[in-house]
């Protein structure tokens, strides 16, 4: 990409780059909402069970030095 921009600049061409970062796009996805939408779209029960298995059953905690929070269920976001 750098070479393309450099080459365009040498030829006095206008260059645009649009970048998008979707790494945080699913941090607030509520599982029940996703499952309801998939159900209404007609996805099979076996697929919905697979999605439930993928999204649920995960836990997290925060640790700073030797102190740690309680272990809690993750109910938002995509693992």
pLDDT digits over 40-51, tens only? 999 999 999 998
Cβ contacts of 36-44, under 8 Å, gap ≥ 24: none
Rounded to the nearest integer, the mean pLDDT of the chain is: 85
**Helix and strand totals (H; E) in the chain:** 3, 4
- List, for residues 16-36, the tens digit of each pLDDT value: 887 767 666 667 777 788 889
pLDDT at 26: 64
More confident residue, 56 or 37: 37
Q: Find how far residue 77's CA is from the centre of its chain.
A: 7
* Run of H or E residues at 40: helix 31-40
């Amino acid at each position: 990409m750098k070479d393309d921009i450099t080459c365009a600049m040498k030829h006095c061409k206008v260059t645009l780059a649009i970048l998008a970062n979707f790494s945080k796009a699913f941090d607030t996805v509520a599982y029940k909402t996703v499952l309801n939408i998939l159900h209404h779209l007609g996805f099979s029960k076996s697929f919905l069970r697979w999605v439930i298995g993928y999204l649920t059953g995960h836990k997290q905690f925060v640790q700073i030095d030797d102190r740690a929070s309680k272990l809690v269920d993750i109910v938002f976001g995509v693992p």
